[in-house]
A = this chain, B = another copy of it.
């Protein structure tokens, strides 16, 4: 008899058929939470991902459709791996399993240490779910100089620009850094910032994974452990 382990569906909002790119967040989650079973899918026709109002609006119904397919296929929970949480409300109307938006999850986890939260993103415009959850804990935001899209994060000096921006947040009084771009998770920015800053640095992909595990634990569903 085969007993299937509970698994989490992870939705990428970047269209790609490169398995390395597609599986990047799934790999981060499996490293951080050993034994966590994750299956990744991406929305169609958005090779540049979600980067403005138009692409956000376009993504929402696609994310909800994909969440429905993942839940129907047996996902115990669904993660939307984007800090703008595109389609989160539509997903919740469509499926009965927990749906975790990386934006809300990162903001919730950023409230744990206490103290003003500095938000590092691709732009200084903080994603709405992050604003809503942080409330008065939102201190200020910063963006790395010369980086406009997720793809720019792969450039040689992008890491230094991210570190510089995060240091500015710390100098301005932030006591927690929230990384509000899952592309920065892929690029290894979060891990590096922890070394450089000696402050709690919240990664949106890891936050979403921890939130999903916590919500499933409440339902008596055990995720995140090899059986």
Contacts and interface: CB of A to CB of B under 8 A. Distances in A.
A111 B34 CA distance: 26
Given A88-B114, A108-B109, A210 B217 contact: yes
Interface stretch (A145-153, A166-174, A200-208): A200-208
Interface string A113-136: 110000000000000000001011
Size category, A interface: 35 or more
A25 interface: no
Contact of A112 (B105, B200, B206): B105
A222 B213 CA distance: 14
Contacts of A88: 114
- The copy count of this chain in the complex is 2
A35 interface: yes
Contact of A206 (B35, B194, B214): B214
A93 to B, nearest CB: 12
A35 B203 CA distance: 24
Contacts of A33: 213, 217, 222, 224-225
A156 interface: no
Interface string A188-227: 0011001000001111001101110111011110101110
Contacts of A21: none
A10 interface: no
Contact of A114 (B104, B109, B202, B206): B104
7 contacts: A104-B114, A109-B211, A135-B135, A207-B214, A210-B211, A213-B213, A225-B225
Given A108-B108, A108-B109, A206-B214, 18 more contacts: A32-B218, A33-B222, A33-B224, A34-B222, A35-B225, A92-B113, A92-B114, A98-B113, A107-B111, A109-B214, A111-B111, A112-B211, A203-B218, A206-B217, A207-B214, A209-B217, A213-B213, A213-B214
The 4 lowest CB-CB distance pairs between A and B, nearest first, are A210-B214, A135-B135, A32-B217, A108-B108
